[in-house]
Structure 1
Amino acid sequence: MSRKRWLALIAVAMLLVISLVVNVATSMIFSNTSSFMDSMAHDWTEQVLDTGEELGGSIVVLEINGVIQDTGDGGLFSATGYRHQMFLSQIEHAAKDPTVEGIIIRVNTPGGGVVESAEIHEKIVEAQEEYDKPIYVSMGSMAASGGYYIAAPADKIVASPQTITGSIGVIMESINVTELAENYGVKVNTIKSGPYKDIMSATREMTEEDRAILQSLIDESYDEFVRIIAEGREMSESQVRTVGDGRIYSGTQALELDLIDELGSLDDTIEMMRELVGPLNVVKYEPHVGFPNFLSMSFQQLFGTDVGELATLERILATHRSPTLKYIYTD
């Protein structure tokens, strides 16, 4: 790294310290201590999207953008994106908050992990059943596979005519490099405790027994997917299996198949919720621009596209590479 960039980095660090001091001082001066501490207790703040005609309650908009995967909070060079634990805490907070009269989840995702999707589903059902909160889902450009899984229990699903949804199913993938390794004289020595310990290994061919074991896992997760949709959409399992063959649908097609309830935008969904709970303020939980995000933005400004390469390298090193069950649409 050049001397000029090191000096710029030091300058950014100094500005960060000054900014933190000013922010804390300002918060203490212009906010009471309890509200300041309440704000700092979460990774987000409430931002008013639209002012309503009535006071005393609010409608909360939560967002799922990107692959539904629990990758932690990310590192120093991480770009902003979906943060699983933060989303779970957001929906739990909105459910428990007595001033929240309704929750809208804006979904824009190709899906993701089976476990993560199930965790979101559980939080949604908990908000509905334990806290009596109506939940509407507004689908963005894509709400496929795991994105539909988490939408299924919603009281109302709204999508654009051009939304890509569906892709109901489960997938598990791996890469086999056996022939490539042989061509280059690469030999892999594996010592294992049982015949299936290296199942889905990239360095040996899959056997029929391997495939049967993995197919049983896929079938089990798919059965759960079908059950969730059947319960959430009040459809028979046979109906779900008919439409749930992995194909994608447009919003218009999904409406014809009863996979969604209405066609419309996020604004339309907000108006639908207001018809149910009243013309309340609409708020959105916005993540704090904390220390890692601040530095990430600073690095991007200072070093341009270099940080993209660093972020890619970090994800490769940090991400668990083993094959996993996924509710995800892959093109």
Structure 2
Amino acid sequence: MKTEPRAKLWIVIVFLAGLFLVSSFFAGCIALLTATETPSASGNVALIKIHGPIVSGEQSGFFAEDVAASDTIIDLLETAEEDPSIKAIMIEINSPGGSAVASDEIGTAMKALNKPTVSYIREVGASGGYWIASSTDYIFANRMSVTGSIGVIGSYLEFSGLLRDWNITYEQLISGEHKDMGIPFKPLTKEERAILQGELDRIHIFFIEEVARNRNLTKEQVKELATGRIYLGIEAEELGLIDALGGRRDAEEYLRQQLNETITVAELEPPVSFLDFLSSVAEQYSFNMGYGLGESLKTTEQNQLSIRT
């Protein structure tokens, strides 16, 4: 008698699991039929969006829309460059920054383009987001947009005090004096702190030099602004960090004048393959089922030294 409700419960679970798999399969088939091998545009101006933290690598999976991956952005830029129907490229930026390497990669690819580029900053185009914006020919921002933040940060969680309180010992077995520098199980020595600070300062100089070149400013001018503080759009215009206040319509008008023709904007997006879709569905399902656990583990990566703009 007691096993009957349990058997019914298992039947319901199996039915729901089967329904999920079948619906995922058919949705994947639809996605496969509608996906394209390469992104394409149906206008003469390509719109590429850089939203979220800037990271290295490719953009795929359920969390893809939450980050701006350098390889994916560069692929879209190259697609726009190679498409003869595309006359100019418009960049929408809403990013607080992220990886210094990824920001530099995208900025370098931007400057290698042979077509007019314009960017407009929405809520935020700070740090690495501003680095990329400065690589375009012309920058617009809302008067209240957050820009600037020309600086570098390196951080990690350090647990040595907690381990000591719980009588846990970190045994150091390394080959190379500084091999375990920046791990969370021991505090930094003065020498290690000086080494890491030196590397951060060097990246900061790279950042300053790039902005100075991109914005036609002197290194001294940028250095005065490169304290890591943010500037609202209205301040950034006065300081020469952006060209004008405005948004998408202003960016479109700028390109219309540059091209001297009517423009049609088409957004370029990375293609979605069948495998990408299935991976996305699986990730989303797992995320929804284990949201609390996911939140608790989300900062695992922060246990290692992270350098970002």
List per-residue Cα deviations over 1:223-274 (Å, max 9, x = no partner).
1111111111111111101111000111111111110011011122111111
Among 177, 192, 214, the residue aligned to 2:196 = 214
322 and 64 in structure 1: CA distance in 2 versus 1, 3 angstrom threshold: same
Shift of 1:315: 6.2
Map 1:92-171; keep pairs closer than 5 Å. Answer: 92-127=78-113, 131=114, 133-171=115-153
1:236 aligns with 2:218: yes
Shift of 1:72: 3.7
TM-score normalised per structure 1: 0.80
Shift of 1:194: 2.4
Three-state SS of the structure 1 residue aligned to 2:240 is: coil
TM-score normalised per structure 2: 0.85
1:305 aligns with 2:291: no
- Consecutive unaligned residues of structure 1, counting only runs of 5 or more, are 25-38, 49-57
Shift of 1:295: 4.0
CA distance in 2, matches of 1:171, 1:181: 26
Note the aligned Cα RMSD (angstroms). 2.8
Among 50, 56, 68, the residue aligned to 2:54 = 68
List per-residue Cα deviations over 1:152-171 (Å, max 9, x = no partner).
12211000011111110111
Three-state SS of the structure 1 residue aligned to 2:267 is: strand
Alignment coverage as a number of residue pairs = 296
For the 8 Å contact 1:78–1:311, the answer to whether it is kept is: no
Among 250, 257, 260, the residue aligned to 1:268 = 250
For the 8 Å contact 1:152–1:232, the answer to whether it is kept is: yes
CA distance in 2, matches of 1:255, 1:114: 24
Among 270, 274, 283, the residue aligned to 1:287 = 270
Letter in 2 for 1:215: Q
For the 8 Å contact 2:69–2:102, the answer to whether it is kept is: no
321 and 87 in structure 1: CA distance in 2 versus 1, 3 angstrom threshold: farther
Shift of 1:41: 3.1
308 and 59 in structure 1: CA distance in 2 versus 1, 3 angstrom threshold: farther
202 and 105 in structure 1: CA distance in 2 versus 1, 3 angstrom threshold: same
287 and 171 in structure 1: CA distance in 2 versus 1, 3 angstrom threshold: same
289 and 301 in structure 1: CA distance in 2 versus 1, 3 angstrom threshold: same
120 and 321 in structure 1: CA distance in 2 versus 1, 3 angstrom threshold: farther
Among 187, 195, 204, the residue aligned to 1:205 = 187
1:80 aligns with 2:62: no
CA distance in 2, matches of 1:292, 1:323: 33
153 and 12 in structure 1: CA distance in 2 versus 1, 3 angstrom threshold: same
For the 8 Å contact 2:117–2:138, the answer to whether it is kept is: yes
For the 8 Å contact 2:70–2:103, the answer to whether it is kept is: no
Three-state SS of the structure 2 residue aligned to 1:254 is: helix
Among 236, 239, 256, the residue aligned to 1:257 = 239
CA distance in 2, matches of 1:65, 1:17: 25
CA distance in 1, matches of 2:303, 2:77: 29
183 and 73 in structure 1: CA distance in 2 versus 1, 3 angstrom threshold: same
CA distance in 1, matches of 2:290, 2:47: 31
For the 8 Å contact 2:31–2:272, the answer to whether it is kept is: no
Among 30, 37, 54, the residue aligned to 1:19 = 30
Identical-pair percentage: 28
292 and 167 in structure 1: CA distance in 2 versus 1, 3 angstrom threshold: farther
